[in-house]
Amino acid sequence: MNTEEELQRTIAQMVQPGKGILAADESLPTIGKRFAAVGVDNTEENRRGYRALMCGAPGIGEFLSGVILFEETLEQTTDDGTPLPVVLARQGVVPGVKVDKGKGPLPGAPGDRITYGLDGLAERLVRYREQGARFAKWREVYPVGERNPTPLGVEANAEMLARYAAVCQQEGFVPIVEPEVLIDGDHTLERCAEVSEAVLHAVFHALHRHRVTLEYLVLKPSMVIPGKEHPQKASPEQVAEATVRVLRRTVPAAVPGINFLSGGQGPEEATANLNAMNAAFPGRPWELSFSFARALQEPVMAAWAGRARNVDAAQRVFLHRLRMNGAARRGEYRPDLEARP
Ligand code: 13P
């Protein structure tokens, strides 16, 4: 298979009606924070056990087209010694890998951040392919404030995303391009929309500059919502309206799939918002789906709490959340479905 055929095959597997992506690619400090909240030690064995629980849950292939793994997880196995990427592939789920190496301040743009990890990326992808990964993920973040993101922050982060995406496609990996406008702060929905529009505009301009083929990428944006500290919550219909308006203005129809991050929304909130978009905009040019980490995992991790005897119960909770998001993918979710796990 040549590179083009490989990209075609992977994107067709990743963007399927009714399905979405699980982000299970938390870095060591981030998974440590999530584990601490449920009283679990951040050991390699606990990380393996927890991620094996999700990758090995029977039935996930009905709702998941892909799982984003952390580098370490590519080498981990189930209790019976099967590598986790193999466990996923057997269920028809494509394994992917987060390839960015964290972030730090962006000099010249006070308050903005920039992500690391481009050096040696092509070589790392060769290794990840041998371990079974077929797509990659890279995240840039944009804090919202009076002066942030700065024009420099918007440009520099777009450039990073485009350079990463170009390397991925050269190596036959479908890139997930993740520009996350952060939920922190007391900004309005309108301010989030304004920032999101500028960010996405710059990202697609940069992708064009770097000759990235739009047909072979997945966009992973944040939804357009008010800041976490804003006194007024938005309804799913308001979120759907504002988000799709921004996407229509900025994301070419050639992009096959848009898979949202959850970004600190509660599990049911993220599901309801995704549902509203699919229910209200049936004629949109792209598939609208999920690539949630917290909104899929929070209840699963709480049900597991680090104990082997809870694995079955935690897998049932996981399947329930997947079923709800599968319904939201079709615009058929209703909150009363939550009562029937
Ligand atoms: P959340 O859904 O928890 O925002 O995580 C998505 C993700 O992959 C962040 O990079």
Instruction: Give the model's pLDDT for residue 230.
Output: 98
pLDDT in tens, 154-208: 999 999 999 999 999 999 999 999 999 999 999 999 999 999 999 999 999 999 9
Ligand 1 site residues, Cβ closer than 6 angstroms: 23, 139, 178, 261-263, 292-295
Instruction: Give the model's pLDDT for residue 95.
Output: 98
**Residue 178 annotated among the catalytic residues of the structure:** yes
Cα 322 to Cα 60: distance, rounded to the nearest angstrom: 8
CA–centroid distance, 25 to ligand 1, in Å, is 9
Name which residue leads in pLDDT, 340 or 52.
52
Instruction: Give the model's pLDDT for residue 340.
Output: 59
Query: Considering only CA atoms, which residue is closest to atom 8 of ligand 1?
Result: 23
| Residue 241 CB partners (closer than 8 Å, separation 6+) | 280
**CA distances to 111, 191, 193, 290 from 246, in Å:** 24, 12, 7, 17
Instruction: Give the model's pLDDT for residue 151.
Output: 98
**Residue 137 annotated among the catalytic residues of the structure:** no
Counting atoms of ligand 1 from 1, which one is nearest the CA of 261? 2
Cα 74 to Cα 198: distance, rounded to the nearest angstrom: 35
CA–centroid distance, 34 to ligand 1, in Å, is 12
Cα 138 to Cα 312: distance, rounded to the nearest angstrom: 32
CA–centroid distance, 173 to ligand 1, in Å, is 20
Enumerate the domain spans of the chain. 3-335
Reply yes or no on domain 3-335 having CATH 1.10.10.60: no
pLDDT in tens, 276-316: 999 999 999 999 999 999 999 999 999 999 999 999 999 99
**Residues 178, 115: contact at Cβ < 8 Å?**
no
Instruction: Give the model's pLDDT for residue 1.
Output: 87
Ligand 1: which of 70, 115, 292, 325 to mutate, judged by most atoms within 8 Å of the beta carbon? 292
pTM (two decimals): 0.98
Among the options 159, 220, 241, 298, which is catalytic?
A: 220
CA–centroid distance, 126 to ligand 1, in Å, is 25
Query: Considering only CA atoms, which residue is closest to atom 5 of ligand 1?
Result: 293
